[in-house]
Amino acid sequence: MGLLSASVSSFRSRIRAVRTWSRDVSTLSASLRSGGALASKASLFQRRCGGLHQHSFLLARLLSSNKPPRGFEKFFPKKEESTGVKKSAEDENTKERDTCDDEDERRRGRKKEESHWWTRFQDSLPFDEKVVQYSAIVAAGMACAFWYFYFRETGMQISWKDFVHHYLNRGLNYLWFNIGSVDSFEHNLEMAQQEMGLDSEKVPVFYSSESDGTLLFTLLPTLLLVGFLLFVMRGGPMAGGRGGQGQGNPFSMSESKAKIITDNISIRFKDVAGCEEAKLEILEFVNFLKNPKQYQDLGAKIPKGAMLSGPPGTGKTLLAKATAGEANVPFITVNGSEFQEMFVGVGPARIRDTFATARKNAPCILFIDEIDAVGKKRGNGNFGNQSEQENTLNQLLVEMDGFNSSTNVVVLAGTNRVDILDPALMRPGRFDRHIQIGPPDIKGRASIFKVHLRPLKLDISIQVEALARKLAALTPGFTGADIANVCNEAALIAARHLERHVNAKHFEQAVERVIGGLEKKNQVLQLPEKTTVAYHEAGHAVAGWFLEHADPLLKVSIVPRGKGLGYAQYLPKEQYLFTREQLFDRMCMMLGGRVAEQVFFRRITTGAQDDLRKVTQSAYAQVVQFGMNEAVGQVSFDLPQPGDVVTEKPYSESTAQLIDQEVRLLIDSAFQRTLQLVTNKKEMVEKVAKRLLEKEFLDKADMVELLGTRPFQEKSSYEEFVEGLGDFEEDTSLPEGLKNWNKKKEEERPPQNGQGKAAL
């Protein structure tokens, strides 16, 4: 009787056929090496492999070739004659092989550039070698799996009835079965044999457990998830260490992300202008680290740190970059937000690692940018006293001034929210010096313009000194970032019009672009709206022209810019203290547009919304903050800032009603004064409005032509602004002890041969 084999699992692997194929390939390779019977072996391989004869033909052709694979010629040693066949065998086939070799050479000549495709592929690949190796391993595994599942022998599926009637009574030698239950299979087989009268000769059954890959497919999602997590921990965004390189250690997340700056910083102290006092303070830190003996001889100690504070764009980070470029000591930089993580304990651990790195490189400078991210006041809306932010701040306080405090490590920090920092962080011993960097004055702006004009290709007729002074007078209140933006915009405007040089007109357009916004020439206004805008801007211009304390008008335009439909540029002077009369005149000038609309059109529009907002803020500031109202008295209360949540007012309800009443009276009196002024100068307002409708742009010369010379004295040039302030240039002199700050002093040698002996 035949032999019956049953597989207990749901599917089986045909390893037997694969082994047969491998033996055939080995036999064919051996015969090729011996040099005989290629055709017979190839036909045998095709007969034995059945459905693989098409693939075997390609494989036999590849193995029988005398030439190395295309692109891999450099890995095979060249010989004088053809390799793979001995000289004494098959001489009659030499011509045929030579013909094939010539054809291969011609094909290789046509694709000569493709011979080094692997080298070009490695050069153009954006990944490193390890990633390529991993990708190759994964691709090879997927190819093997596809080869196995595609070319395996699946067999033919039949029903139990077909097996009983067509196979069981014929006595076949060998059959495979996929069964689910051994007992059920034996019972059915026994019943079938009894029905057919085969009790005397039972079919022998052998059982084996094999897998069809179902378990692998079941575990595949889990394996992919585990692999993704490992990849994230090794090199992804959650990897610890510097720059996300955790070196494969998931616990390296607590390592600091601080960077030690090398010599690749091109910014120097000569590139920083407009903040000479702050630069002098930082220079002293650098000089102390370079020449400590100069201070230690007098018993001085190096300050623990300095806090750089001020509005955005004033040069705090730029000053730190210049320090990194000039200091010959290690400069370590880190961002305050890098200490904040979602995992508990990571922030304090990174603080400890940062200061440990600083101690190893001492003497050094540690710069913490945006320290308000980690140094906020404790106890403000946190969930308990053990919040992660507070733990990080406590660790920072201990590292800066505790039992394990650092020596010869200067800590610099920058922030524009110094008001929210914890008082313990700001005390002497941690940050000994508080350096306030504000917007530069007119001299500082001129110095900053000189720095940013240096790389520009200016017109040969332009003098850099004169241009810097002129632009400094046109940009009151600008910070260093604004000035850098103006110079860059001027160069962009020149390039937009294909100019070969940047001239003064480009800088004026750049100033208008930064102050007023983008000019919208394509925004179409209907004639009624355009007329309203012209009279509105004319009202502002005429009111400011005949008010003593109003800022001088520089230019006015009805071309839309930014969010506004009109644009007026004034030239305010450098002033830090204002009187009640000056603030009142400014309120009247801002109300000039609304009053002109009411006088000429007997109706008002929404165009004065921004003017009314500024007038209201000025009125409340005079009454509530500056104490300039007799009814409210000499008191001052803080006004809520935008974004602040106001829970209660610092004054009573009756005081609030009194403040509202006085503010309304102040605004009404300013409106009545402006109404009287515009009514008296009605002809001039109409003349300016009509000229605006014609030209759309008026400068100061046009205003003088229409209104005459302004009846009040005004300043418009750089020399007039700096008159009485000493030198025309910013004072950049250094004290005697800092003049050689960039040179390391040599230690004094002891006197020799009796020289230098004191005389009695």
Please list the active-site residues.
537
Chain position carrying tokens 């067999």: 155
Cα gap 566→590, rounded to integer Å: 13
The set of residues, in sequence order, having a beta carbon less than 8 Å from that of 284 and lying 6+ positions away, is: 738
CB 557 within 8 A of CB 567: yes
In this structure, what token pair is assigned to residue 474? 């046109």
Cα gap 333→331, rounded to integer Å: 7
CB 519 within 8 A of CB 576: no
Measure CA 365 to chain center: 24
The set of residues, in sequence order, having a beta carbon less than 8 Å from that of 458 and lying 6+ positions away, is: 464, 467, 501, 502, 503
- Cβ atoms within 10 Å, residue 93: 11
Q: Sheet harboring 567-570: ordered strands across?
A: 567-570, 553-557, 697-699
CB 510 within 8 A of CB 489: yes
DSSP state of 112: G
CB 556 within 8 A of CB 544: no
* Helical pair 346-360 and 388-400, crossing angle rounded to 10 deg: 20
Measure CA 508 to chain center: 32
In this structure, what token pair is assigned to residue 704? 């003088």
In this structure, what token pair is assigned to residue 324? 């990194």
In this structure, what token pair is assigned to residue 133? 């190796």
The kind and range of the H/E element at 580 are helix 580-590
CB-side neighbour CA atoms (13 Å) of 661: 9
3-state secondary structure of 643: coil
Please report, in angstroms and rounded to a whole number, the separation of the first and last CA atoms in the chain: 133
The set of residues, in sequence order, having a beta carbon less than 8 Å from that of 71 and lying 6+ positions away, is: 114, 115, 116, 117, 118
Q: Is the link from the previous residue into 204 a cis peptide, with omega within 30 of 0?
A: no
3-state secondary structure of 433: strand
CB 538 within 8 A of CB 685: yes
Cα gap 293→296, rounded to integer Å: 5
Measure CA 700 to chain center: 44
The kind and range of the H/E element at 6 are strand 3-7
Q: Report the DSSP beta bridge partners of residue 436.
A: 309
Q: Report the DSSP beta bridge partners of residue 698.
A: 556
CA 166 → CA 6, 186, 187, 200, distances in Å?
Answer: 18, 19, 19, 20
Q: Report the DSSP beta bridge partners of residue 596.
A: none
CB-side neighbour CA atoms (13 Å) of 655: 13
- Cβ atoms within 10 Å, residue 9: 16
Beta strand 553-557 with 697-699 is antiparallel
Q: Name which of 330, 291, 323 is nearest 744 in CA terms.
A: 291
What is the secondary structure of 199-260 as a DSSP string? SSSPPPEEEE----SHHHHHHHHHHHHHHHHHHHHHHSTT--SGGG--TT-GGGGGS---EE
Q: Name which of 227, 322, 237 is nearest 283 in CA terms.
A: 322
